[in-house]
């Protein structure tokens, strides 16, 4: 089969995300063609879908997109081949896209939700669809090969390493544990004189090639189970949290949880092993983990040092950590049990997806594929590896040309973040009548830019006839969503639109 794989390389700063996407071109027995919505040109209307037998929607594609235009949904529904989303973070992105996916007429679902939760999560039109359970990440063979060159434990700088971050209350207790374990263990290790590099601030996170090097320099990594067990099917929990935080701006997570989430946390169980654990095993690093199930793949004391969530066995865990021979044996067992057999490799995962796709049989006769500049036969390059100075020079040239084109004209702007702040001065010879923002952005009380008014979508429609053009100010990862939103806005008017791209 010829398969169109729709993705967004905006998320490739995380190694596992790119490994996930790349695994299909490396291991699938089908022909895979990637369409990346994070880079121009990004108009799916330019692609002849009749060339393909199936479409796979990567979770990065769905994670980036708030909604889809009427035209996009009509094209997806008209496509007679297979349509299968590869879902992750279903508590967020599936709930956001239930109506979109239903309108696509999808045929099956690859999901991280364990089978016991399917009846609860995938109701109505999704109930009878075939489903395949998958983990959120697997083991890349290039990473597994690094085990043999692991650094001796006694030569590592840190006994314990960790990077976490605080999550919004809506993600519940399981997500909050990622922050709590780091916050508590950083303090406890300092008190006990344990050499630890533990951070939970966003600006202390580590990406790219620096991340595996950090893991290799730690004897063990802290960790928790991955996922969220809060599914806000109606939106009522989110509304409650928003109102509660407005009334109680200093409320902590547990106060908010008790007031707005309570027993709803755990109606669906999605807790599972994190790809981070696979990474650490491959790099020859052990684990101290909160007690949990971890998808039944790893076991306490055999593959990791268990830590009770009240830290009552911390001294026992640290005593085990000091026994380097015990830690070395645990690391070796973890590799042999989890990695060496290949059962959790990306190759094995893609074979499962291939079998799932094949189980539907051929759906239509695909046309001959022609060369298409919108498509690649390999996962897109990482955005973080782009030549930023060269891109900025090219970008500034484009902005200056666009600004000259609209000199003396009336403009609407869409977007009021860093991109607007950087490039709005180029349009000083134009009159910016207003800045279009969606309700979510307006609720965050964005920075004001002089006397330029903010406009809701409904207000912007009434101003369109006065404008000579509209400029989208956005970063690459938001381009597709903002373009789709603006397309929906402009259905009643003809207006020239330019996109200003801002690379971080």
pLDDT value of residue 480: 67
Comparing 141-150, 171-180, 483-492, which segment has the lowest mean pLDDT? 483-492
**Has residue 59 got a pLDDT over 70?**
yes
Question: Would you place residue 477 in the very low, low, confident or very high pLDDT band (cuts 50, 70, 90)?
Answer: low
pLDDT value of residue 493: 63
pLDDT value of residue 178: 95
Euclidean distance between CA atoms 146 and 282, whole angstroms: 7
| Of 209, 215, 270, 265, residue with least CA distance to 237 | 265
pLDDT value of residue 491: 66
Average pLDDT, the chain: 89
For the chain, what is the total number of helices (H) and then of strands (E)?
Answer: 19, 17
Contact, 158 vs 197, CB < 8 A? Answer: yes
Q: At what angle do helices 70-78 and 93-104 cross, to 10 degrees?
A: 60
Return the percentage of the chain with pLDDT > 70, whole number: 93
| Of 354, 381, 347, 382, residue with least CA distance to 142 | 347
Contact, 135 vs 272, CB < 8 A? Answer: yes
Contact, 327 vs 220, CB < 8 A? Answer: yes
Global pTM value: 0.80
Strand order in the sheet with 286-290: 196-199, 158-163, 218-223, 286-290, 305-307
More confident residue, 286 or 381: 286
Give Cβ neighbours of residue 349 (< 8 Å, ≥ 6 apart): 23, 134, 135, 138
Question: Would you place residue 48 in the very low, low, confident or very high pLDDT band (cuts 50, 70, 90)?
Answer: confident
Question: Would you place residue 384 in the very low, low, confident or very high pLDDT band (cuts 50, 70, 90)?
Answer: very low
**Has residue 346 got a pLDDT over 50?**
yes
Question: Would you place residue 398 in the very low, low, confident or very high pLDDT band (cuts 50, 70, 90)?
Answer: confident
Q: For the segment 258-306, what is each residue's pLDDT rounded down to a tens digit?
A: 999 999 999 999 999 999 999 999 999 999 999 999 999 999 999 999 9
pLDDT value of residue 496: 76
DSSP-assigned states of every residue in 24-73: HHHH-SSEEEEEETTSS---GGGS-GGG-SEEEE-HHHHHH-S---HHHH
Three-state DSSP at 205 gives coil
pLDDT value of residue 16: 85
| Of 71, 66, 132, residue with least CA distance to 99 | 66
């Amino acid at each position: 089969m010829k398969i169109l794989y729709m993705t967004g390389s905006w998320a490739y700063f995380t190694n596992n995300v790119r490994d996930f996407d790349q695994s299909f071109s490396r291991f699938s027995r089908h022909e895979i063609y990637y369409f990346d919505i994070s880079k121009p040109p990004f108009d799916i209307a330019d692609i002849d879908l009749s060339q393909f037998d199936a479409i796979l929607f990567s979770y990065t594609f769905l994670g980036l997109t708030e909604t889809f235009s009427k035209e996009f949904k009509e094209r997806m529904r008209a496509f007679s081949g297979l349509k299968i989303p590869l879902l992750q973070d279903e508590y967020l992105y599936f709930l956001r896209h239930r109506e979109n996916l239903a309108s696509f007429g999808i045929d099956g679902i690859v999901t991280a939700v364990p089978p016991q939760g399917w009846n609860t999560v995938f109701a109505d039109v999704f109930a009878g669809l075939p489903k395949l359970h998958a983990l959120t990440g697997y083991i890349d063979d290039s990473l597994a090969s690094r085990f043999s060159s692991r650094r001796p434990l006694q030569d590592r700088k840190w006994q314990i390493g960790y990077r976490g971050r605080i999550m919004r209350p809506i993600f519940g207790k399981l997500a909050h544990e990622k922050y709590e374990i780091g916050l508590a263990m950083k303090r406890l290790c300092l008190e006990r004189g344990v050499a630890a590099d533990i951070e939970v601030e966003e600006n202390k996170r580590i990406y790219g090639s620096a991340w595996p090097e950090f893991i290799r320099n730690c004897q063990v990594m802290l960790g928790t189970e991955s996922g969220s067990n809060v599914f806000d099917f109606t939106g009522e929990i989110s509304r409650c949290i928003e109102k509660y935080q407005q009334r109680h701006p200093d409320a902590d997570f547990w106060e908010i949880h008790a007031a707005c989430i309570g027993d709803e946390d755990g109606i669906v169980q999605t807790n599972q092993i994190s790809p981070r654990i696979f990474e650490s095993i491959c790099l020859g690093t052990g684990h101290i983990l909160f007690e949990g199930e971890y998808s039944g793949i790893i076991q306490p004391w055999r593959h990791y040092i268990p830590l009770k969530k009240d830290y009552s066995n911390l001294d026992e865990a640290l005593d085990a950590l000091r026994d380097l021979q015990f830690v070395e044996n645990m690391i070796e067992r973890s590799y042999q049990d989890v990695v060496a057999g290949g059962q959790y490799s990306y190759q094995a995962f893609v074979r499962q997806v291939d079998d799932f796709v094949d189980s539907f049989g051929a759906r239509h006769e695909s046309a001959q594929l022609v060369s298409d500049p919108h498509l690649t036969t390999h996962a897109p390059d990482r955005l973080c590896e782009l030549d930023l100075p060269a891109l900025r020079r090219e970008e500034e040239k484009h902005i200056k040309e666009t600004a000259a084109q609209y000199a003396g004209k009336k403009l609407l702007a869409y977007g009021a973040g860093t991109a607007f702040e950087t490039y709005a001065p180029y349009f000083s010879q134009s009159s910016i009548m207003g800045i279009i923002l969606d309700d979510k952005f307006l609720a965050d009380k964005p920075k004001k830019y002089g006397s330029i008014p903010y406009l809701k979508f409904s207000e912007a429609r009434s101003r369109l006839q006065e404008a000579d053009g509209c400029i989208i100010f956005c970063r690459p990862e938001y381009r597709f969503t903002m373009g789709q939103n603006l397309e929906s806005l402009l259905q009643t008017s003809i207006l020239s639109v330019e996109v200003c791209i801002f690379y971080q």
